[in-house]
Amino acid sequence: RAKGLGGRRVEVFAAHMHAEAVRRLETAADLQRALLDQQFAIEYQPVVDLATSRVTAVEALVRWCRGSGVFTPPEQFLGTAEDTGLIVPLSEWILREACREVAEWRAANWDIGLSVNLSKRQIMAAGFVETVSEALSDSGLPPSALTLEVIEEMLVEDAEDTIGKLSDLRALGVRLAIDDFGTGYASLALLRQLPVDIIKIDPSFVSGLGRDETLSLLTRTIVRLGHDLGLIVVAEGIERPEQLDLLREMGCSRGQGYLVGRPMAAQGVSSLIRTSLTASA
Ligand code: C2E
Ligand code: MG
Ligand code: MG
Ligand code: MG
């Protein structure tokens, strides 16, 4: 009896696994086609100087809009893209396209930087450092205007190789940021391993500002830690005015979130930056 039941459970499990495998396969094939059909786009989210409200940079966020108009969030396809290796050409396209667009905005006298999220496989791919330097030289974007965002998971395998490559890029003038800071087990150890310039406080801390004493205290502590280490601290996920006020009061340098600016298409950024220029002039 017990065996029969167990067998049934295995069957149900296998059917579920099968559906999951088919879904992933579909996504893999879809992704390949999407890359050829240019179904990917980039949205840019402003990063704002909290003291002056000036937009200092934009973060490039990939978007996948299928022909049917269906929007698939990055977290639903980046895993498959990573597993299949498609992340490598996709990331190169994002990097080149974003460098090109931001270089154009800078040429129009908008002094902003660009932040790009890296993936593990992208860093591990042969020629990664060369690809980044080519994206810079081809677009004319100065290395100091580019920030590369990494998360802790990227340093789990082949840490030495990854740190070596990122350090080489930093030696060229590129800046490094730790994204989702505070959520990993080794956020503090990372600061010792990687020559970083920026930490981005995870929204899970920012969300509790003014509502949860522990989270408020942790946020304040991370801001102070970052500043004591001479780093730029970016708070992510600012949605409420109260959070913005508290972060300003804590002296947090930069902020990002729906309240200060939503991710938007390239045309949206052009008008936003024009407004911000006029306001600060
Ligand atoms: P991330 O790098 O931490 O990016 C921030 C995410 O938070 C973005 O989600 C952004 O749209 C969202 N966000 C910004 N402000 C707010 C807010 O006030 N409230 C809330 N609830 N969310 C906010 P998105 O675009 O869905 O991206 C999710 C993650 O996917 C990113 O997290 C990043 O890890 C990854 N990702 C996105 N684009 C790329 C890319 O081009 N390459 C790679 N390798 N990863 C990417
Ligand atoms: Mg990011
Ligand atoms: Mg983040
Ligand atoms: Mg994230």
pLDDT of 279 over the 90 cut: no
Closest ligand 1 atom to 73 CA: 26
pLDDT of 260 over the 90 cut: yes
Residue with the nearest Cα to atom 34 of ligand 1? 117
b/e map 88-126, b = 16+ CB within 10 Å: bebbbebbbbbbebbbebbeeebebbbbbbbbbbbbebe
Q: Would you place residue 84 in the very low, low, confident or very high pLDDT band (cuts 50, 70, 90)?
A: very high
- Mean pLDDT is lowest, of 17-21, 77-81, 210-214, 276-280, for 276-280
Ligand nearest to the CA of residue 200, numbered in listed order: 3
pLDDT at 10: 60
Query: What is the distance in A from the centroid of ligand 3 to the CA of 85?
Result: 23
**CB distance 119 to 78 below 8 Å:** yes
pLDDT of 248 over the 60 cut: yes
pLDDT at 229: 95
The tokens of 252 are what? 């947090």
Q: What is the pLDDT of residues 4-37, one digit of tens each?
A: 555 566 666 667 677 777 777 778 899 999 999 9
Q: What average pLDDT does the segment 51-71 reach?
A: 91
Residue ranges around ligand 1 (CB below 6 Å): 45, 60-62, 73-75, 78, 91, 94, 117-119, 149, 179-180, 237-239, 256-258, 263
pLDDT of 53 over the 80 cut: yes
pTM of the full predicted structure?
0.92
pLDDT at 162: 95
pLDDT at 259: 96
Residue 220 sits at φ, ψ, to 5 deg, of -60, -40
Closest ligand 1 atom to 61 CA: 38
- What proportion of the chain, given as a percentage, has pLDDT over 70? 91
Cβ neighbours of residue 129 under 8 Å, at least 6 residues apart? 165, 168, 169
Residue tagged 């004493």 (tokens): 213
Q: What is the pLDDT of residues 86-132, one digit of tens each?
A: 999 999 999 999 999 999 999 988 999 999 999 999 999 999 999 99
pLDDT at 25: 77
pLDDT of 281 over the 70 cut: no
Q: What is the ipTM of this complex?
A: 0.98
pLDDT at 8: 60
- Mean pLDDT is lowest, of 113-127, 130-144, 147-161, for 147-161
Residue with the nearest Cα to atom 45 of ligand 1? 117
Strands (E), 9-95: 40-49, 55-65, 71-72
The tokens of 172 are what? 């060229």
- What proportion of the chain, given as a percentage, has pLDDT over 90? 74
pLDDT at 62: 98
pLDDT at 173: 98
Residue tagged 């129009």 (tokens): 108
Query: What is the distance in A from the centroid of ligand 1 to the CA of 213?
Result: 26
